[in-house]
Amino acid sequence: MPTPLVIDTDPGIDDALAILLALASPEVDLRLVTTVHGNVELDRTTDNALRVLHLAGRSDVPVAAGAAESLVHPQPERAGHVHGSAGLGGVELPPSPASVDPRPAVVALAELLMTSPEPVTVAAVGPLTNLALLLRVFPEAAARIGRLVVMGGSAARGGNVTAAAEFNVWADAEAAQAVLASTLPTVLVGLDVTLPTVLDAEGIARFAAAGPIGATAAAILQQYLDHARTAYGTTGVVVHDALAVTEAVVPGTLGTVRRDVVVDTGLGSGRGQTLVDRRTVSTAPTAVEVAETVDSPAAVEFLVSRLASLDAR
């Protein structure tokens, strides 16, 4: 039986690909998408999630809107310069016929967790505000998460929004600390494994040629590709969130080591840094499985082949 999956997300270009990847993967059953502030404002992330699901012919998947702001300190800036002002690289997807689920995201997630007969995997690929709220408001539901896969942080590669911090953790450092200090069975997919995993123009062309869904996904990626060429001089893009969803779909894709992780919640230059104790393997109940190794060519091939299969479906 497919594993029940929830994606908590802030679409976002790579978030859109992550959703499409989940829909193309028979190993999982996408039961719910919850949205959060992050790359762009909440109303846009929510509308983008609805539109991406509609693109893939899955408007039946409910979308519940979550936190519009961080827990304590407002997020200093969005990422429109990377994702476009509306979040999907300037591509205007057709509106979805579906409406937003009337339940707040935390309520929708808690109800799904409490009623699912099977353990639910949650892939959190945006700021962790919704998950931190779930821990505080519905701890009994949070305890039923079978596996939490988080895209965020960095053990040894520094940051991508500041010298120290990765964007998702930096966007709500207090929420990230609450989640990573909990006993949830968590895998942390950070920049250590996402940065080496580059989707190049050849791979994009492969799923673009598969049909209209693939072609639209490629069009969404174009601004990301242009940004990578300008900012980093690369010929491909790092699809951070899709790699996290790959680990959610196929556990063990990434090599992980159990580590103690603390988030810097100070207001200085280190804010949002994930301090990963790499001196030893941890046996603490709050330790996190930190992704440290990846077969990048295999991960890219998995993404490309799954996206190319969407039109055939």
8 A C-beta contact, residue 288 and residue 258: yes
Residue 42 tokens, joined: 């909440």
Encoded amino acid at 50, one letter: L
Look-up: residue for tokens 């790499």? 278
Q: How far is CA 44 from the centre of its chain?
A: 16
Per-residue CA distances from 39 to 12, 125, 234, 244 (Å): 6, 11, 22, 17
Catalytically active residues, by annotation: 240
Q: Which run of H or of E encompasses 174?
A: helix 173-180
Whether the CB-CB separation of 147 and 101 falls below 8 Å is answered with no
Residue 283: Cβ-neighbour burial (10 angstroms; 0-12, 13-18, 19+): exposed
Half-sphere exposure of 170 (CA within 13 A, CB side): 22
What sign has the CA pseudo-torsion 67, 145, 296, 51? negative
In Å, how far from its chain's centre is CA 237? 16
- Phi then psi dihedrals of residue 238, to 5 deg: -95, 115
Bridge partner residues of 290 (DSSP): 188, 257
Strand ordering across the sheet containing 3-9: 63-65, 28-35, 3-9, 120-124, 145-151, 186-189, 288-293, 255-263, 274-277
